Chain A
Amino acid sequence: MPTIRLASETDVAGWRQAARALRAGQVAPEETLWTVDGAGGDLFGEAGPILPAGRLAADGPAFTVPRDFVELADRVILHRSDERFVLLYRMLWRLAREPHLMRLHSDPDVQKAQHFARAVSQAAHKMKAFVRFRLVTGPDGEEYYVAWFEPAHRVAEVTAPFFARRFASMHFSILTPDACVHWDTQVLAVLPGADPADAPSEDSLEDYWRTYYASIFNPARLKVGAMMKEMPKRYWRNLPEARLIPDLIAQAEARTTTMVRQTPSTPSRRVVAAVHRTLRDAPFDGQGMRSLEEVQVAVQECRRCDLHCDATQGVTGEGPAQARLMLVGEQPGDQEDLAGRPFVGPAGQMLDRALIEAGIARDRAFVTNAVKHFKHELRGKRRIHQTPGAGEVTACRWWLDAERRLIRPRVIVAMGATAALSVFGKPVAIGASRQQALPLPNQAQGVVTYHPAYLLRLPDAQAAAKAYAAFVADLKFAAGLAA
């Protein structure tokens, strides 16, 4: 039985070369033994030729393997199990007859290799997490950061580039029993394993780190199992904070009990007085709205219907207080609700386009909605517009009336049925009432037209173009009345 000797525990290239040659030579996995240079040859003392992996040359036809096998093998070789080489060779052997082997996740070999690979990835992740550098200052004040670390698997070399990218401007060394990596801000060097004694034994900041660790721990919610699962004991001896753990756990219950038993404290008289003063001096909220700003602030407190519960904010109108033309839409949509401004979403863009075409400057009109809060329902993670009900429109009329009273526009354009219901106080048929000056109180005139969102929803391009032209014509008509 041939024993294949690899140059090192992580000799990926050697393993690949040997495995390729062995499979080409039809050597079955059961007939191979794998060892590593310096590991003392064959464990069972069996006789057989010892073949240095580097000298095996493939003489059979070349073959390919799935890419994910190669990626898996690269990781599995870093595992500390002695079984890894033969396991991988067995998979390589089987791949010749079972090309789908890598997809059979429940196959015992595949499952074991995946398990090894996951353990290796985890070890690399924990290395990124648990390496603790200590600062060493050289004779000329230059700074070196040195860490001693014992990874669960042989991941020091593959994990080193992570540290180089992260600490690019630092000179650092990570010493491990398997390999040492050094970074001089330019080049990453890998040298043989070292001894813990080679690393510095303290760092002035560790005391601060322990202070932080102890303070951030909440004794009222002890979950030792959860900690142990993620920070296994094998790492503790190289973690400066770990020595605090036993005491923190031991004292947790007593600390919590004391905390809970403490009677609620009485705030200082000075503080109580200050709070009372603030309350007394707070501005008085009057009833009547005297400005659009007051409307904007007051609508945030509106509880006249339930729409405020799920909306971000009440959205009132925008525009000059002396506007002659008032445009009323239905309600704020998703974007308007977030931004707190009317007609900034897709329907707003449609409105802007039509206003330009109708020769109306948006900033000279007052643009608002019949309902001030966004009514919607959740579908999956999206908020979908819902038409407000008559009750909500009526409840919200109070706010539109306040805006109408403050602005006293000559013409009010009700865009869509909801706006018309609010403006006229009764349902109005949009199609039949377009292009007419409808009488309103306070010498104002009303005009009805489509809602810009309706134009967006029309699926037929021809119908949409027709409705859009009508919309622009209605706006022009209104502008003519207001002039």
Chain B
Amino acid sequence: MATLDLKRKLAILSDAAKYDASCASSGGTKRDSLGGKGVGSVDGGMGICHAYAPDGRCISLLKILLTNFCVYDCAYCVNRVSSNTQRARFSVDEVCDLTIGFYKRNYIEGLFLSSGIIRSADYTMEEMVRVARTLREVHDFRGYIHLKVIPEAAPRLVNQAALYADRVSINVELPRDASLAALAPEKDAGGIRKAMGAVRLGVDAGQEKGRKARPPKYAPAGQSTQMIVGADDAPDGEILKRSERLYGAYKLKRVYYSAFSPIPDSTARLPLARPPLVREHRLYQADWLMRFYGFDRAEIIGETEDLELAIDPKLAWALRNRGDFPLDLNTAERERMLRVPGLGVRSVDKMIEVRRFKALRLEDVKRLTRGIEKLKPFIVTADWTPGALTDAADLRERVTPPPQQQSLF
């Protein structure tokens, strides 16, 4: 085989990595490069997106595979052994040099390294750990590192990965264990959960307070996972139920939903139609409601149902629960205000401060939110009450946004 030049390898191995939705550089221990011989800092907060691709996704990390050679045959993956895609493999030094070179030019926050499985899970995981160790120990790199964990790898290697990385992730891939068995014959849902359980125990131990000998930082930015939406028949309710359980069991920072995307060199085992991108968006909104707005999954959606695509899940909930509205913004509790469609955490907290000093009027609410018209049916202020509007038969039509056309450029 002819040797590929570095640029060609980069093209192949970043193209192969793009189906992973996560690119976050959030969390991590606050640190900088002062006094060190390398570069790198982590603010510990929300992370930085250094660019955006025309697919609207943030580019924060150098997201690449160490290699796209793979012995597995997962139907949804462009790198499966039976695909005829072009193969390449980086050396450890090539990955380190690219990471440092990009970082010094301020293109990235760090590295997100994943890999196809070569030889064995252990061998591959060991190579990935070697990259992280070289970056940390040889280059004194203090930027962000996210490592994809291969669930079949030995726990010892998973632990090492978590000690060098800010975040580790293990993809559950598909919402149903049965679909995973069908589409990814070499993967095992139980093994994936076991690995996530081990990571959670490590993260917990690292955060334990009052321990004399504090263990070294273990994946301080926690763990995340990704589920592919639309490659099997699982409805949104089932997907969210799975997420709810994953958050509960493994304290995940994020579950990423990735609408099944057509891949080059597809296989006949996959559905032909791809799900609308808005489905993925609605899942994120529902996930957000569960994590930050105090909603239970069961309130948002039944297990066998799909989320509505035309309106967001909070509005859909409010339309189903009109008895809870209108809500008097001058007296309501914070928890209930967060349930008003169109009110976010920031607006609600500001209103609560303002109303200590003056009664909220419609103009106040207008200044603190985006768009008052959609809110009006659900709220009462000092100078406004919706009357019969809340129960109007055509309320849904009034508050449903017109379908948006894809913006041409």
Residue ranges of A at the interface with B (Cβ–Cβ < 8 Å) = 100, 103-106, 108, 111, 125, 128-135, 145, 147, 162-170, 203, 205-209, 211-227, 230-231, 239, 241, 245-246, 248-249, 252, 256, 259-260, 262, 264-265, 267-268, 271-272, 274-275, 300, 308-313, 335, 337-340, 378, 381-383
By the criterion CB–CB under 8 Å, are B6 and A145 in contact? no
Chain B residues with CB under 8 Å of A260's CB are 262, 272
By the criterion CB–CB under 8 Å, are A222 and B406 in contact? yes
By the criterion CB–CB under 8 Å, are B248 and A215 in contact? no
Residue from the set B102, B106, B406 with the largest chain A CB neighbour count within 10 Å = B106
A165 CA / B82 CA spacing, docked (Å):
47
Q: Chain A's nearest CB lies how many Å from the CB of B182?
A: 15
Chain A residues with CB under 8 Å of B206's CB are none
Extra pairs beyond A106-B367, A335-B201, A378-B244 (13, CB < 8 Å): A100-B357, A130-B50, A132-B105, A133-B105, A170-B39, A217-B18, A221-B56, A221-B277, A227-B53, A256-B262, A264-B265, A275-B82, A340-B197
Interface of chain A: mostly helix, strand, loop or mixed: helix
Chain B residues with CB under 8 Å of A162's CB are 41
Q: Chain B's nearest CB lies how many Å from the CB of A198?
A: 18
B98: nearest chain-A partner, CB-CB:
A208
Q: Chain A's nearest CB lies how many Å from the CB of B144?
A: 11
Chain B residues with CB under 8 Å of A130's CB are 50-51
A98: nearest chain-B partner, CB-CB:
B357
By the criterion CB–CB under 8 Å, are A264 and B266 in contact? yes
Chain A residues with CB under 8 Å of B249's CB are 310, 312, 337-338, 383
Chain B, 158-181, contact with A by CB distance < 8 Å: what is the 0/1 string?
000000000000000000010000
Count of chain A to chain B residue pairs whose CB atoms are closer than 8 Å in the complex: 243
Residue from the set A130, A147, A224, A382 with the largest chain B CB neighbour count within 10 Å = A224
Q: Which one of B34, B101, B197, B357 contacts A165 once the chains associate, using CB atoms below 8 Å? A: B34
By the criterion CB–CB under 8 Å, are B34 and A168 in contact? yes
By the criterion CB–CB under 8 Å, are B37 and A378 in contact? no
| Chain B residues bordering chain A, tally (CB within 8 A) | 90
B193 in the interface, Cβ–Cβ < 8 Å?
yes
Q: Which one of B49, B56, B59 contacts A224 once the chains associate, using CB atoms below 8 Å? A: B56
By the criterion CB–CB under 8 Å, are B197 and A224 in contact? no
Residue from the set A165, A216, A231 with the largest chain B CB neighbour count within 10 Å = A216
A300 CA / B191 CA spacing, docked (Å):
9
Chain A residues with CB under 8 Å of B62's CB are 212
A161: nearest chain-B partner, CB-CB:
B32
Known A-B contacts A223-B277, A245-B54, A265-B267; A313 and B84 likewise in contact (beta carbons under 8 Å): no
B136 in the interface, Cβ–Cβ < 8 Å?
no
By the criterion CB–CB under 8 Å, are A211 and B11 in contact? yes
B83 in the interface, Cβ–Cβ < 8 Å?
yes
A267: nearest chain-B partner, CB-CB:
B82
Q: Which 5 A-B pairs rank lowest in CB-CB distance, beginning with the nearest?
A: A226-B56, A223-B56, A267-B82, A338-B197, A106-B364
Q: Which one of B54, B107, B357 contacts A132 once the chains associate, using CB atoms below 8 Å? A: B107
Chain B residues with CB under 8 Å of A106's CB are 350-351, 354, 360, 363-365, 367-368
By the criterion CB–CB under 8 Å, are B248 and A383 in contact? yes
Q: Which one of A131, A168, A337 contacts B197 once the chains associate, using CB atoms below 8 Å? A: A337
B19 in the interface, Cβ–Cβ < 8 Å?
yes
Chain A residues with CB under 8 Å of B309's CB are none
B38 in the interface, Cβ–Cβ < 8 Å?
yes
Chain A residues with CB under 8 Å of B363's CB are 106
B264 in the interface, Cβ–Cβ < 8 Å?
yes
By the criterion CB–CB under 8 Å, are B35 and A216 in contact? no
Q: Chain B's nearest CB lies how many Å from the CB of A103?
A: 5
